[in-house]
């Protein structure tokens, strides 16, 4: 994050589409009233009944306040309801009320990622989409569905990207640009979304 007298510029890689990375730049204007910095803590590849790593990381969360996020692959091997109840719930599940999840490819091994959407409920967004956004303190966070081919939401002109443009355009934060590059020779650029 680059702090300036007028605000902060934050650049975050938030989405992988095939082998393309979309990178978002946000200008967050300073506000006059002081606010406390929000705490955002999380991980991906979380719960596996064959490992105790999820218990160790859940114990770390026990001592950290704030919002918990997941980066997908929440319950191994397939995101089945039984894996959420037997592997995820006894560890990270104790933080479910403050968790903002994202779906991963392992959740999609269960039809329509139903174990994931049933477990997290409305916090996971619309099951037909798998993406959503929320505000946390002075931040606007966007959770995109990296498994969008399961919902026919992939591509630069997809419903998810159309929603993203609208979401950023209507957020109180000024989104200056959205630029993507691929690992190959192609380059994708969308000019100013808003501003």
Which tokens in the block code for residue 34?
């002081």
pLDDT at position 8 is 47
DSSP secondary structure, 68-89, as one string: EEE-S--BTTT--HHHIIIIIT
Cα separation, 139 vs 100, whole angstroms: 14
Confidence of residue 113 (pLDDT cuts 50, 70, 90): very high
Task: Give tens-digit pLDDT for 69-79.
Answer: 999 999 999 99
pLDDT at position 37 is 83
Confidence of residue 165 (pLDDT cuts 50, 70, 90): confident
Cα separation, 5 vs 11, whole angstroms: 18
Q: Please give the residue that has the higher pLDDT: either 171 or 4.
A: 171
Task: Give tens-digit pLDDT for 5-34.
Answer: 444 444 444 444 443 444 444 445 555 545
Confidence of residue 152 (pLDDT cuts 50, 70, 90): low
Cα separation, 90 vs 84, whole angstroms: 9
Confidence of residue 50 (pLDDT cuts 50, 70, 90): very high
Task: Give tens-digit pLDDT for 33-43.
Answer: 455 788 999 99
Confidence of residue 153 (pLDDT cuts 50, 70, 90): low
Q: Which H helix or E strand runs over 162?
A: helix 159-170
Please give the mean pLDDT across all residues of the chain.
77
3-state secondary structure of 117: helix
Q: Which H helix or E strand runs over 55?
A: helix 53-62
Q: Where are the domains of the chain?
A: 2-30+54-190
pTM (2 d.p.): 0.72
Whether 120 shows a pLDDT value over 70: the answer reads: yes
Confidence of residue 132 (pLDDT cuts 50, 70, 90): very high
Close Cβ partners of 20 (under 8 Å, ≥ 6 residues apart): 180, 181, 182, 183, 186, 188
């Amino acid at each position: 994050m680059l702090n300036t007298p007028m605000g902060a510029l934050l650049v975050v890689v938030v989405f992988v589409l095939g082998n393309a990375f979309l990178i978002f730049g946000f200008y967050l204007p300073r506000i006059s009233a002081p606010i406390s910095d929000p705490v955002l803590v999380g991980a991906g590849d979380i719960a596996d009944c064959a490992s105790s790593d999820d218990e160790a990381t859940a114990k770390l969360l026990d001592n950290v306040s704030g919002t918990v996020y997941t980066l997908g692959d929440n319950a191994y091997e397939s995101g089945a309801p039984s894996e959420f109840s037997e592997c995820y719930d006894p560890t990270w599940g104790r933080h479910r009320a403050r968790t903002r999840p994202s779906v991963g490819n392992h959740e999609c091994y269960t039809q329509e990622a139903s174990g994931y959407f049933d477990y997290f409920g409305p916090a996971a967004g619309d099951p037909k989409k798998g993406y959503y956004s929320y505000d946390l303190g002075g931040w606007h966070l966007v959770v995109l569905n990296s498994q969008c081919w399961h919902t026919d939401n992939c591509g630069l002109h997809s419903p998810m990207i159309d929603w993203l443009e609208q979401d950023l355009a209507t957020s109180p934060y000024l989104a200056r640009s959205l630029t993507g590059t691929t690992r190959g020779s192609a380059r994708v650029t969308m000019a100013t979304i808003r501003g």
